[in-house]
């Protein structure tokens, strides 16, 4: 079901009109109310009146994560503090948290965009949504919660963790839709198996997974192990949390809620705006937020945009599922590699589990070295040295031929890699220590 046909099936002309009007309002708002943006706009030698249509967005300078940190905690709030009704934050992998302050209107936008997201996975009032995203400052739990409330579905606000209990609740409450990180869904599958619970006997039919990179192959694995259809959902704290973009049943790219969040793709080195179809860094402008509106925020996420006639009937622009992040990108002896590319190689090798960790270090010769710890499937694990050595070599050859890097592969016994309840930590970079 299409939750908000007016927004999700708008003609391009209507969408552009709405975006232009919203942009004018939001630029005026931040110019008048946020000193940080007032300075930025003045420095760029433009005035709010210079912004007449959405195309004029290119006149506005970018906002970066560093600037968000510099204004921590409330420097970007555009509303009166009394109008702020909720705060969320991401710890960020690199330190100072990023704060998102929501007004009543922002929570309304969030509820609507998450209702759209869950509807894309088939959610209706009749569904029981087991929400295993963490509740708290992290946006995953509350985002799904507000969307499910808007739809009127039954919400099971179980949050992340307590994995055995998740399985019994799923069975006893008859959960039909699961929301969590993709890595946690596989942990749930593993735990259910240990408990002797078969997913084909449960009512679960769909899942919305996101908050961390995952591959199409991993999707296939999740769909098979949990006996569901798995949808990719995307968002980030700075912009609103989850609800920025999501996959419909076509599962060919994520529809962006472009009436709320205007996307652009830029060349990360030059800042040049790239045309649809070209891969680069994703940039968002929040067109309607009033708590912490952001202009041209550089996400560091890498993807491309495309507009196509989608079989689901939605017209809004799509983004390809994420390739990774700029700052996730590992440069190993000059070769650029994203963890997701390593995952794609591993997952295709028989005998391995989609649990792995990448360890980067610097050798005696000061060159980068990469170790990949890969977990071996229980049914494949063996004391036979030869069999394990063959597997190790197979992985190392595949990584070399597909990605052009020499990695040291270490096989780890079943369950040897630490499971995560939220975002999985795939890369340990010892080079900075």
Q: If you search the block for the tokens 């593993």, which residue do you land on?
A: 190
Q: Give the nearest distance from C-beta 420 to ligand DLL in angstroms.
A: 13
Q: Which of 325, 332, 370, 405 binds ligand DLL (CB under 6 A)?
A: 325
**Residue 235 interacts with ligand DLL (CB under 6 A): yes or no:** yes
**Residue 315 interacts with ligand DLL (CB under 6 A): yes or no:** no
Cα 425 to chain centroid, rounded: 14
**Residue 422 interacts with ligand DLL (CB under 6 A): yes or no:** no
Quick one: 240 or 409, whose CB is closer to ligand DLL? 240
Q: Give the nearest distance from C-beta 246 to ligand DLL in angstroms.
A: 9
- How many CB atoms lie under 10 A from the CB of residue 365? 6
Q: Which of 131, 237, 286, 303 binds ligand DLL (CB under 6 A)?
A: 237
Alpha carbons 63 and 72: distance in angstroms, whole number: 14
* 73 upstream amide cis, omega within 30 of 0: yes
Quick one: 213 or 291, whose CB is closer to ligand DLL? 213
**Residue 263 interacts with ligand DLL (CB under 6 A): yes or no:** no
Alpha carbons 77 and 71: distance in angstroms, whole number: 10
Alpha carbons 373 and 57: distance in angstroms, whole number: 45
**Residue 322 interacts with ligand DLL (CB under 6 A): yes or no:** yes
Q: Give the nearest distance from C-beta 337 to ligand DLL in angstroms.
A: 16
Quick one: 8 or 247, whose CB is closer to ligand DLL? 247
The b/e string for 339-359 (b: 16+ C-beta within 10 A; e otherwise) is bbbbbbbbbeeebbbbbbbbb
Q: Which of 99, 156, 167, 233 binds ligand DLL (CB under 6 A)?
A: 233
Q: Is 319 in contact with 282 (CB distance < 8 Å)? A: yes
CA 292 → CA 11, 30, 78, 183, 205, distances in Å? 28, 9, 6, 30, 36
Interacting span for ligand DLL (CB under 6 A) from 12-20, 186-194, 227-235, 342-350 = 227-235
Handedness of CA 356, 361, 367, 368 (dihedral sign): positive
Angular region, 230: left φ>0, alpha ψ -120 to 50, beta rest:
beta
**Residue 213 interacts with ligand DLL (CB under 6 A): yes or no:** yes
Nearest by Cα to 256 from 244, 247, 274: 244
Quick one: 192 or 211, whose CB is closer to ligand DLL? 211
Q: Give the nearest distance from C-beta 367 to ligand DLL in angstroms.
A: 28
Alpha carbons 30 and 48: distance in angstroms, whole number: 10
Residues of this chain, 64-93, that bind ligand DLL according to CB under 6 A: 90
Interacting span for ligand DLL (CB under 6 A) from 26-34, 104-112, 162-170, 228-236 = 228-236
- Kindly write out the interface string for residues 181-210 of this chain, putting x where it contacts ligand DLL by CB under 6 A and - elsewhere: -----------------------------x
Alpha carbons 332 and 22: distance in angstroms, whole number: 43
**Residue 285 interacts with ligand DLL (CB under 6 A): yes or no:** no
Q: Give the nearest distance from C-beta 415 to ligand DLL in angstroms.
A: 25
What pairs with residue 12 in β-bridges? Answer: none
Quick one: 27 or 101, whose CB is closer to ligand DLL? 101
Nearest by Cα to 46 from 64, 68, 76, 23: 23
Q: Which residue is nearest to ligand DLL (CB)?
A: 210
Alpha carbons 49 and 281: distance in angstroms, whole number: 28
- Kindly write out the interface string for residues 121-160 of this chain, putting x where it contacts ligand DLL by CB under 6 A and - elsewhere: ------------x-----xx--------------------
**Residue 215 interacts with ligand DLL (CB under 6 A): yes or no:** no
**Residue 242 interacts with ligand DLL (CB under 6 A): yes or no:** yes
- Token pair, residue 312, equals 């689901």
Q: Which of 183, 299, 315, 357 binds ligand DLL (CB under 6 A)?
A: 299
Interacting span for ligand DLL (CB under 6 A) from 170-178, 219-227, 230-238, 272-280 = 230-238
**Residue 234 interacts with ligand DLL (CB under 6 A): yes or no:** yes
First-residue to last-residue Cα distance in the chain? 50
Binding site for ligand DLL (CB under 6 A): 90, 133, 139-140, 210-213, 232-237, 241-242, 299, 301, 322, 325
């Amino acid at each position: 079901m299409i939750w908000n046909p007016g927004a999700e099936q708008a003609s391009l002309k209507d969408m552009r009109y709405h975006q232009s009007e919203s942009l004018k309002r939001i630029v005026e708002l931040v110019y008048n109310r946020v000193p940080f943006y007032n300075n930025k706009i003045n420095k760029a030698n433009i005035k709010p009146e210079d912004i007449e249509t959405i195309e004029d967005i290119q006149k506005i300078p970018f906002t970066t994560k560093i600037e968000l940190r510099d204004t921590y905690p409330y420097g970007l709030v555009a509303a009166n503090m009394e109008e702020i009704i909720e705060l969320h934050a991401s710890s960020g992998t690199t330190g100072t948290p990023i704060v998102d302050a929501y007004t009543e209107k922002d929570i309304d936008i969030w509820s609507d965009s998450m209702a759209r997201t869950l509807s894309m996975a088939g959610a209706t009032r009749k569904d029981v949504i087991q929400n295993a995203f963490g509740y708290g400052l992290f946006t995953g739990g509350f985002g799904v919660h507000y969307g499910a409330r808007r739809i009127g579905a039954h919400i099971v606000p179980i949050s992340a963790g307590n994995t055995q209990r998740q399985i019994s609740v799923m069975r006893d409450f008859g959960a039909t839709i699961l929301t969590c990180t993709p890595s946690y869904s596989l942990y749930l599958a593993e735990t259910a198996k240990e408990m002797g619970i078969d997913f084909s006997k449960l009512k679960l039919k769909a899942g919305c997974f996101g908050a961390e990179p995952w591959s199409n192959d991993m999707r296939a694995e999740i769909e098979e192990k949990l006996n569901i259809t798995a949808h990719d959902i995307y968002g980030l704290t700075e912009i609103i949390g989850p609800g920025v973009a999501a996959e419909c049943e076509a599962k060919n790219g994520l529809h962006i809620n472009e009436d709320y969040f205007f996307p652009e793709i830029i060349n990360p080195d030059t800042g040049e705006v790239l045309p649809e179809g070209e891969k680069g860094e994703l940039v968002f402008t929040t067109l309607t937020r009033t708590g912490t509106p952001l202009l041209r925020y550089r996400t560091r996420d890498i993807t491309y945009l495309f507009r196509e006639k989608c079989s689901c009937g939605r017209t809004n622009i799509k983004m390809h599922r994420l390739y990774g992040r700029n700052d996730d990108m590992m440069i190993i002896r000059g070769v650029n590699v994203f963890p997701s590319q390593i995952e794609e190689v591993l997952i295709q090798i028989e005998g391995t589990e989609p649990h792995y960790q990448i360890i980067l270090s610097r050798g005696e010769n000061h060159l980068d070295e990469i170790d990949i710890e890969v977990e071996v499937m229980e049914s494949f694990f063996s004391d036979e040295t030869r069999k394990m050595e063959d597997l190790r070599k197979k992985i190392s050859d595949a990584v070399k031929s597909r990605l052009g890097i020499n990695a040291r592969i270490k096989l780890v016994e079943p369950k040897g890699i630490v499971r995560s309840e939220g975002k999985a930590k795939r890369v340990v970079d010892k080079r900075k220590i």
